[in-house]
Structure 1
């Protein structure tokens, strides 16, 4: 399959914000399959009553073999992964790309999910079940009757084996359970080699994914984006956690509507998976795509309020974000004939939306704007809610029809009296606007984290001059004299540099970035035997062989989690205790990052982004589920012959004692428990506690999550959607669950990680967090900020081949994409902070890819190569952050950092081809006349995910005081 040439001037910013075309739609919802099925469901006048059962997605048989998935990996797949593969297939087919080429090298895949996935919960319960098995053995050993004492040890062992069989276990479980494996699977199945990532921002997840896609398309870093979002009720924990916030899954009743998803008693949580294929409208017209509708503009805003996560009920904030969206898109509110509310379920939120948007439409006739909500058919599909609403709006525009809406108690017809809004009681033909103006829809949403969302869609009519106009079909070619061949004005200068105006870090043995640099410079590592509080050796350590239930290594690099919140934050001890450990670490590092910047007041009220790379299923999420799943463990225990033969009272007594020892938690949760379980809650915590009007999002791209989060931040800054961003990553990988699952695949080193060494045999897990405060360089200068370094380019790709084996071509594409954004070539880069996976194959692939890009005739001295993993282990989602922090501090200290534990470099490494050197002690970094010091930072993840960032020294004469 050949790829069309990429659109001209990648990375250039248009003087006008081009509309983004929706060219493919897919949906898997209760009672609906595909775009046509979904539209049919929406047009039904007599919608079914909402209830948890009615809003559940029926099991769908999908032949995963058609997607090229090896049989050995199928048992490790999440159900969401299967559903999204099918939705992606339907979407690409709907867009007409089942039999014609798509620009595969420049097609990104972004997936949104929220809460844990089924395999994540099963794997965690299997590992936690070892503790229950031990408690069962202890209860049997202490049985006063003495009947089962001799069988206690064997029963505990047999129960662990039974849990493996009951819950499932396979070597690929660690890779298969990850949210970021979903877009990677899709990329591999359809040979899409652009960037891949998974995101989560509570019920703003879809909107955040769409915003990132729009930024990427308008920034010309890709030519198409496949966006998917899905929600399933994978665990009873979800219902309990929502109920603790007054948002439990409550049946809607015969008059309940979507916006019944906003009743004071709670909402009906729906299930569903949706997909959209997006392209720039000029590209879609050029390529002959069917265009359902175009996104004219989108805006996200955050109403920051300290305390537990809760919806914004401010009509003023709702009005402000909507007005900003219309002004940015040049769309008069009076030209919008239909408003679609996303999600639904809380009366106060619905009232704020009607009040805020009522001000926006204050000059239009009463009852002239139709109001709808996809939740009247689906319930609140949470992570999927925004995509369900945008899909509904696009279908309404395409079919020129207004679907009927069933009012609910949160949003009734009585509440619309005297406003511009009305409900369509039956399907209506959508008449054209005044003067044959295009039909338009506004989609409005709100998030539990405090985020507010507004999008404007308009119909596409190829007969209408405005449909082409300034966005006429682009022709393949090169822009000249600032004008594309399609006639659209272009700014052909390179994208603006992004300034690092603050940073912080916390890693093993290092409470802050200064301590981190001292350790880096020392050349020592922080890897050693894990304390018993981290790794229970009796339960999980077995040094001989590989198993599905134990780790064969006891080494790691754990971080100290702060005992309390940073000074000045009004966080109660009870709420702090409910936080995930990753949240506690991030709070401390955010304090350091903002403190180093020293000008937090300058951020007040300005739009921003907090993008944190992390696993989308936090440890607290898994532990809460495992703690509430004692019934599953007891069911397995009851199958043991020795217990089955006991009298009922004796068996109940033993099981009750085992339950107490295990720590099963069946009581009510607190409102803060959901916050500690949400991955997006990490970023939301930073935004809310520091009162930043910054949209929070968790980003997962496997081990490249930190750089993927930075890439998202750079896109938001360059698009103008944010004036600043806090970006980086966090993960606490030193835990039994991750170590057991990684050992099952043989990923861990038995001694310690030794990247690029001939004895390299895997990695050692490490904990860590690194954050960076970013601004556009022009803004940093205008604000008088300290500038610690410059991010010049960021590139990403997917191998679209193996989930585990690294690929030279994929890594090369990521590097080339980064260099496509700058004016210098690889020979002008002095240092590479490598991914350094610590395996012979991985290290060879990385150096080979590096040689293909960095081996240039203009290189006059060796490229110095190092990796943070040699000192702090593999910190998973935080790995790219550790690498960027190490490179940044190396530039500032004008010192090439040493590699720890490097004996003899592997003979297969392509070092001489570059040429390159692996320093084992600090080496002075001399200046090169006429240019600043520069470094590249690589981060690669399972699933074939690759990211590369280019970092540059800030000229000394421009540094502000205190920038050290």
Structure 2
């Protein structure tokens, strides 16, 4: 498939908030040096929780980043979204007039859980008779997208995508489609989530997929995922628009693939994942043999890691053994709707800097996990083509193909 400069999509800005730091420089420094943001869970000392670990954002003071006027309307997940969007837009150097006509597509798996938790505590625990009047506008799933629109004066198409752990990749795909269709020339997209509330932690606890000791993707002794929080946002532009304004282009978003397993609500399907990867490569018009690096979904659960490895074998055949595959979730945790955004950023920077992030905590391959997972130490390697996988509960799959400029 041949695309002209209006339909080719490039990345010109990156923004992130995570357990690895409040900006992308700190995020990338931690990722490429194999530093973990996973630590003992803070803020739940008296709670009856079996979950003891989390990749929580540290050193974050909302009052230092937002006005006292705005804070009452900003759930934690909206705060993260705004901070990451500001950084991405700042790096891209977008003027207000360009932003006004841009799109914003914000993914979230949870929405405003902090607001929900506070509200339910007032009503059921403290026996209050009324909820706060801002409960709905602060906690609704589209609140982050609305806040990004209002505070950054983005007046083009603005909406929320919610597809569990694939939310950010789906949001980026939708933003790219808007650009390719000629609806907008610029879009900001990604994901945000803040899942560290007692009620949500108890719900995850009940699923029995959360590790009590650490996140070890693809390892024989892996014991589950570790939850994280934060936001990962990127600025996308048509290549013609970016070059016309002299923007620094970080990488090209060559193609996207989206499928559904149409099967089990929690048990992943290698077929569904493989079809998403094939669809992304077809959309990018890139041969599977050209892919050098895979930023894996890699949650550290028994089912996901084995199934994702099988999907890679199905798509890449004998070339699968030549792939470098890594999961950065062992560092920033599984930030749910934000994970795809953080991992997309890591993939862009791997292409740009020639450094392949490691899979830390790797102790040896698990059954069915027989690929090169870049164990424990980053690898210096100039690459041209990479993919970033997101595979969500409900069998919702989204894959991005990224290409070096």
**TM band (smaller chain):** over 0.9
Pairs within 5 Å for 1:579-594 = 579-594=74-89
8 A Cα contact 1:687 1:695, kept in partner: no
Q: Which has the higher contact order (CA 8 A, sep 6+)?
A: 2
8 A Cα contact 2:20 2:36, kept in partner: no
8 A Cα contact 1:620 1:676, kept in partner: no
Give the aligned partner of residue 198 of structure 2: 736
Query: How far did 1:923 drift?
Result: 1.2
8 A Cα contact 1:540 1:736, kept in partner: no
Distance in 2 between residues matched to 1:755 and 1:676, nearest whole Å: 35
Equivalent in 108, 123, 143 of residue 614 of structure 1: 108
1:673–1:826 distance in 2 versus 1, CA, 3 Å: same
8 A Cα contact 2:34 2:377, kept in partner: yes
Distance in 2 between residues matched to 1:868 and 1:880, nearest whole Å: 10
Query: How far did 1:563 drift?
Result: 2.1
Query: How far did 1:941 drift?
Result: 0.5
Query: How far did 1:836 drift?
Result: 0.3
8 A Cα contact 1:826 1:856, kept in partner: no
Give the aligned partner of residue 506 of structure 1: 17
SS, match of residue 694 in structure 1: coil
1:625–1:553 distance in 2 versus 1, CA, 3 Å: closer
Pairs within 5 Å for 1:114-263 = none
Give the aligned partner of residue 493 of structure 1: 2
SS, match of residue 802 in structure 1: coil
Distance in 1 between residues matched to 2:13 and 2:387, nearest whole Å: 19
Matched, 1:725 2:190: no
1:605–1:732 distance in 2 versus 1, CA, 3 Å: closer
TM-score by length of 2: 0.93
Query: How far did 1:823 drift?
Result: 2.7
1:677–1:829 distance in 2 versus 1, CA, 3 Å: same
Deviations 1:343-386 (A, max 9, x none): xxxxxxxxxxxxxxxxxxxxxxxxxxxxxxxxxxxxxxxxxxxx
Query: How far did 1:493 drift?
Result: 2.9
8 A Cα contact 2:171 2:191, kept in partner: yes
Equivalent in 161, 168, 174 of residue 699 of structure 1: 161
SS, match of residue 593 in structure 1: helix
SS, match of residue 157 in structure 2: strand
1:803–1:511 distance in 2 versus 1, CA, 3 Å: same
State the aligned residue count.
402
Matched, 1:577 2:75: no
1:623–1:881 distance in 2 versus 1, CA, 3 Å: same
Give the aligned partner of residue 921 of structure 1: 377
1:604–1:754 distance in 2 versus 1, CA, 3 Å: closer
Give the aligned partner of residue 540 of structure 1: 48
TM-score by length of 1: 0.40
Give the aligned partner of residue 326 of structure 2: 866
Distance in 2 between residues matched to 1:806 and 1:598, nearest whole Å: 40
8 A Cα contact 2:215 2:224, kept in partner: yes
1:576–1:782 distance in 2 versus 1, CA, 3 Å: same
Give the aligned partner of residue 280 of structure 2: 818
Distance in 2 between residues matched to 1:584 and 1:617, nearest whole Å: 12
Query: How far did 1:696 drift?
Result: 2.1
1:769–1:605 distance in 2 versus 1, CA, 3 Å: closer
Equivalent in 387, 396, 400 of residue 945 of structure 1: 396
Distance in 1 between residues matched to 2:131 and 2:39, nearest whole Å: 39
RMSD value, Cα: 2.0
Matched, 1:887 2:385: no
Deviations 1:593-641 (A, max 9, x none): 11111233351442x22111113542144235414533xxxxxxxxxxx
Deviations 1:555-579 (A, max 9, x none): 011014442264xxxx641431332
1:787–1:663 distance in 2 versus 1, CA, 3 Å: farther
SS, match of residue 757 in structure 1: coil
Pairs within 5 Å for 1:337-352 = none
8 A Cα contact 1:565 1:576, kept in partner: no
Distance in 1 between residues matched to 2:73 and 2:94, nearest whole Å: 30
Equivalent in 123, 126, 133 of residue 629 of structure 1: 123
SS, match of residue 275 in structure 2: helix
1:562–1:584 distance in 2 versus 1, CA, 3 Å: farther
Deviations 1:112-154 (A, max 9, x none): xxxxxxxxxxxxxxxxxxxxxxxxxxxxxxxxxxxxxxxxxxx
Deviations 1:365-410 (A, max 9, x none): xxxxxxxxxxxxxxxxxxxxxxxxxxxxxxxxxxxxxxxxxxxxxx
Give unmatched runs, 5+ long, in structure 2. Answer: none
Pairs within 5 Å for 1:336-485 = none
1:604–1:707 distance in 2 versus 1, CA, 3 Å: closer
Query: How far did 1:751 drift?
Result: 0.7
Query: How far did 1:797 drift?
Result: 0.7
1:770–1:604 distance in 2 versus 1, CA, 3 Å: closer
Pairs within 5 Å for 1:543-692 = 552-560=50-58, 561-564=60-63, 566=65, 572-606=67-101, 608-615=102-109, 617-623=111-117, 625-627=119-121, 629-630=123-124, 662-667=125-130, 669-670=132-133, 672-692=134-154
Query: How far did 1:843 drift?
Result: 0.8
Give unmatched runs, 5+ long, in structure 1. Answer: 1-491, 542-551, 631-661, 928-932, 955-964
Matched, 1:753 2:252: no
8 A Cα contact 1:562 1:585, kept in partner: no
Deviations 1:519-550 (A, max 9, x none): 0122121111111x2x24x3322xxxxxxxxx
SS, match of residue 804 in structure 1: coil
8 A Cα contact 2:104 2:154, kept in partner: no
1:578–1:693 distance in 2 versus 1, CA, 3 Å: closer
8 A Cα contact 1:832 1:935, kept in partner: yes
Matched, 1:769 2:231: yes
Distance in 2 between residues matched to 1:578 and 1:663, nearest whole Å: 22
8 A Cα contact 1:565 1:587, kept in partner: no
1:782–1:666 distance in 2 versus 1, CA, 3 Å: same
Query: How far did 1:665 drift?
Result: 4.3
SS, match of residue 855 in structure 1: helix
Query: How far did 1:889 drift?
Result: 1.2
